[in-house]
Amino acid sequence: MQHMPTHGLECGYIQKNPMTNFKEFIDYVFDFYGPDGLYPLDCTKEQIAYATLMYLDACAHYEQQDKNWTSDYKVMVWGDGDSLDRERVRDFMIEIFKLDPSPLPV
């Protein structure tokens, strides 16, 4: 599967093919938050992989809960590697590895 271009994803790009390959998702996140990324957090692919596993674990946990979404209970589900998944992995990395989020848009 060909790697999607980085630029344009934030400008209305709609993902048509869900990501089913772990490496593809790692590369996608790295294109945004790696040292030369659009929003460089100076993270490594290893950090992305670890944060992705923590995120997938959280998704599995929420999937097992028998609760409806409320303002106090926000369900996390895997979105086939979409931008929300990417941003949630970013948030996990910032928290786990104490990365500086200042390059991110406000």
pLDDT score of 77: 85
Q: 98-102: long-range contacts at Cβ-Cβ below 8 A with a sequence spacing of 24 or more?
A: 99/41, 99/42, 99/43, 100/41, 100/42, 101/41
The pLDDT tens digits of the residues spanning 13-61 come to 445 567 779 999 999 999 999 999 999 999 999 999 999 999 999 988 8
The pLDDT tens digits of the residues spanning 49-106 come to 999 999 999 988 877 767 666 656 667 888 999 999 999 999 999 999 999 998 888 7
pLDDT score of 60: 87
Residue pair 80/25 in contact (Cβ under 8 Å)? The answer is no
**Dihedral sign for Cα atoms in the order 89, 91, 92, 96:** positive
- Looking at the whole model, is its pTM more than 0.85? no
